[in-house]
Structures are given as structure tokens and as C-alpha cells.
Chains A and B, each alone.
Chain A
Amino acid sequence: MTEAQQAVAAAGADAYARIVAVLIRITGDWTLAEDCAQEALASALEKWPADGVPDNPGGWLMTVARNRAIDVLRRASVERRKLQELATLAPNTSSDHEPDQAGDVVDDRLRLIFTCCHPALALEARVALTLRTIAGVPTADIARAFLVTESAMTRRLTRAKAKIADAGIPYRVPSGPALTERLPGVLAVLYLLFTQGYNPAGEPAFADEAIRLARLLVRLMPEQPEAAALLALFLFQHSRRDARRDDRGNLLTLDKQDRSRWDHAAIVEGVSLLARAASGPYALQARIAAHHATAHDSAATDWPAIARLYDTLARRQPSPVIELNRAVAHGYAHGPTAGLRLLAAARVGGALDDYPPAVAVEADLTAREGDTDRAAALFRQAAAAAHSEPERRALLERADELRGEES
């Protein structure tokens, strides 16, 4: 990338959501807002290499996008009020990293997030719309991550935007008790976005986007402890991104990772964020992640504390996957037999039948209990059902190691 291209990418990452959000508020036209923001970026790529990077790159982009919107609307002869508001819009999107001033511009991005994550939209549509509109991710990339064709994803996005207009979904941040009801939905979309980026077969850029949006949310809503807890959770998990694979790209479990390759700055930031987190579900998950992230080595992990946090989490937010993780924690804290007992309870009613990691957990606990034959067979069974190739290879390796121990 040339210097000018880097400047465009950086300015775009910082200003894109603001530009789209402001243009949507004034014009009410989602497609127009996105098109104008994209065209401003294209124009920057064309002009900056020759003319040099402007002093206020974000402001430059905002001005170009706004002028483009005015052109389009003039041709469509839209009401004078909208045009006037656009014409008087100050290009006050700074590209540096100073804290945002409170006011309309910041509120617009928050409004956009809450509209994209409205519960009257299907969950998949919320995630796709957030990626497309706020993060500016190309439709083709979103389609690939969700395993659908680009035209199918385009239809999904178009349908979601039509629903927003037809059903009268407001462009507003809810207040009072409504905010408490709606914030978990927004956080859930960001969580899904992060998972989509962090899982081994996922789109790594989505994890970065999720972190960027979580940061934005924490900055815009500093009084919401669960937003800070979610960002902390992301930072702890993401801190291992460079250490979780070996040279051949195989996934490494926590105990085998080189902890000097963890991103310690991210861990420190996560720990400081947790200081203001209360005891919501994300705070509990982040505290669990913090125990792993701050343990000097695998043996120093405070498993009894983690097991207690999972006990609380399972009570607060019962789910088969949390019960599975709780079984793992108890397996380390109180021995494999305790873990297997909780795993059996979590599986009652076939709850984890379609979840391959449950077999991998059973294999690990069985191995530590000493039944290596059965454990090796379970690892192979888990490998056959694994969702991604790196996971499959890691599980087969565990099976082979067990055979090595026998001979």
C-alpha cells in the first residue's frame, strides 16, 4: 500500500460510520448514504496520491460525501429542508484519535447501531446490516462469511432496509428502561460478529471490526458496564490471535500456546476495563477470560475460581454450551470425574448432540481419567465431526499422542 492508500484506509476506518450515520439521519435514505460514503473513499484514492493527504482527512471525506448527496438529491428535487440541512453541515469529523465531543455527530453513529440491531429485524439481518452500514464491509465479504451468494446477501440487506422504512423502525437511541432492554441485543450482535471473525474458519477482519465497534460503544456509553465487559472479553480472546496456531496452522490449546506471544497490551487494557464492569453475563465471561489471560503459565491457572464463575454464569444464563464449559472448568478444578459428571448432566435430553466440541471435551476428560483407548476413539469421533480443517487436525493429533503414550 502506498502512503496515500494507507491514509485513505485509516481515514475511512475512522470516518465511514459517521458519514453514513449523518447522511441517513438527514436524508433517511440508507442506500444513498452508503453510496456517497463509498464514492468519497473512491475519490480520495484518486486525488490524494497526486494532491497530497488533506490536513483533516475525515472532514474532507465528509465534505465530498455530502456534496455528492446534495447533487443526487437536487436531481431528484427533494424538499428544500433536507438540502439546507446538508448544505450547512459542518465537516467536523476529525481523523485524529482525540476523544469525541458529545453532540449530534456522535449520537448519529449510536443511533445507527441501535437501528441496525433492532429486534424487529431478523438476527442474521442485524449482523449483516451492522457489518455493511457501520463497518462498511463489502457485501461480497459478508456473503462469504455467512456461506451465501453475494446476490442472496444483497437481497437480505435490501429486505432489511425496506423493513426499517416500511415498519417505521425509528432512527433513535432508546432511553430509560427501553435502553436497558435493547442494549443486550446490540451487544449480542457485536458478540456474534466477533465470533464470526474469531472462529477458525471465520473472517479475521470481522473480529477487528467487532472490537472497533465495541470501543465505540464504550466511548459513547461509558455508563454501561456490560459494554465495557464485552470489549474486555474481546480483548482477552483476541490477545491470543498470534499464538493460537503452530507453524503448520494447526490450532493449539491454551496449555500449549507460547504465552510470550500473547498481546499483553490488550490484556492490560482488558483488566482495566473490568475494573468498571459489574456482574452481568459478559462481565462474568470476561472475568473467566481474564483468569486465563493473566495466568503466568497453564499450571498457574486458578481453575477453582473459574469453576465458581461458571457456576454463577450457568445460573444467570443457562445454556448447554455454558454447561459444557462449566464441565471443563470443574474437570480441571476438581478432577476429570467431576467434569464428566457435569458433562453427562449437560447432555441430558440430547442438548449437545449436534455440538462436536462436546465430544472433544469428553475425550479430554476421559484421557485424563486414564482410559486412553476410549479417549483416542472419542478424539477421532470429534475430528470427524469438526467444523473446520484446523480443528480436525488438532483433534487427530491428540488421538495420535494417546497412541504414543500407550506404546
Chain B
Amino acid sequence: MKYMMFVCVDPEPDTDPAPEPDIEAWVAENDAAGRRLQGDVLSPASSATTIRVRNGELLVSDGPFTETKEWIAGYDLLECADLDEAIEVARAHPMARGGRIELRAFRDH
């Protein structure tokens, strides 16, 4: 199954002093295993541009559609057997502790 893994910031990160896992190692391991198809980091949510079309008129506005403290900082596209495997991949990402991660399966898996 394909999962979109949204890597988000969180106003209440983990306070555990243990060192966070290394992102390079996480990428290398999951790329090698074929579980990570691609992924990247996005520019901050404050630089987002929102586009709507209403009655044929283009509306372009600055900023995210809704104000939120849990904005998306990046994403990874995963190929996993099921949700349990995707959870194991997500939990090992440094941002599982520094922020939060949301998993969404592709609809036509």
C-alpha cells in the first residue's frame, strides 16, 4: 500500500533528553528497503499561497487556508505492506518526537 506521510510541526514536542534519531540514517535505511519512494522538505507554511476559483473568478491569497500550529513541514511517500509497517517507519523518524506525523493511505491502493 502507498502511504503519504505528512511530517508536521507540533507546539508540544517530546521533552525526552535522549538524542533524536538521525534523519540521514532514516532516509538511507528506508530507501534501501524500498519503503520510501520519495520525500522532501517544504518551505514554511507562512510562505504558502492559497488558490480558489469561485464563479469563474480566481482568488489568490497569502498564507495557509486555515491558521494552524500543526503545519506540514515536509512529506515522504511510503510503500508499506499495511498500516502497522507504516507506523513502524513513522515512529523512527526524528519528527515523530520533534513534531508529529500523519499517515494517509492512497485511496486506490
Contacts and interface: CB of A to CB of B under 8 A. Distances in A.
Interface residues of A, dominant DSSP: loop
A13 to B, nearest CB: 31
B83 A174 contact: no
Interface residues of A, number: 10
Given A118-B83, A168-B1, A170-B81, 18 more contacts: A120-B83, A120-B87, A166-B105, A166-B107, A167-B83, A167-B103, A167-B105, A168-B3, A168-B80, A168-B105, A169-B83, A169-B84, A170-B82, A170-B83, A170-B84, A172-B82, A172-B84, A174-B84
A147 B81 CA distance: 38
A76 interface: no
Chain B interface size, under 10 / 10 to 19 / 20 to 34 / 35 or more:
10 to 19
Contacts of B88: 178
Interface residues of B, dominant DSSP: mixed
A169 B82 CA distance: 6
Contacts of A167: 83, 103, 105
7 contacts: A120-B87, A166-B105, A167-B103, A170-B81, A170-B83, A178-B84, A178-B88
Nearest to B82: A170
Name which of B1, B81, B83, B88 has the most chain A CB atoms within 10 A of its CB: B83
A169 B103 CA distance: 12
A168 B107 contact: no
B54 interface: no
Nearest to A166: B105
Nearest to A178: B84
B86 interface: yes
Interface string A363-387: 0000000000000000000000000
Interface in B1-25: 1, 3
A174 B88 CA distance: 12
Interface string A153-194: 000000000000011111010100010000000000000000
Interface string B79-96: 011111011100000000
Contacts of A168: 1, 3, 80, 82-83, 86, 105, 109
A166 B106 CA distance: 8
B61 to A, nearest CB: 32
Interface in A116-169: 118, 120, 166-169
A27 to B, nearest CB: 17
Contacts of B107: 166
A86 to B, nearest CB: 23
Nearest to A174: B84
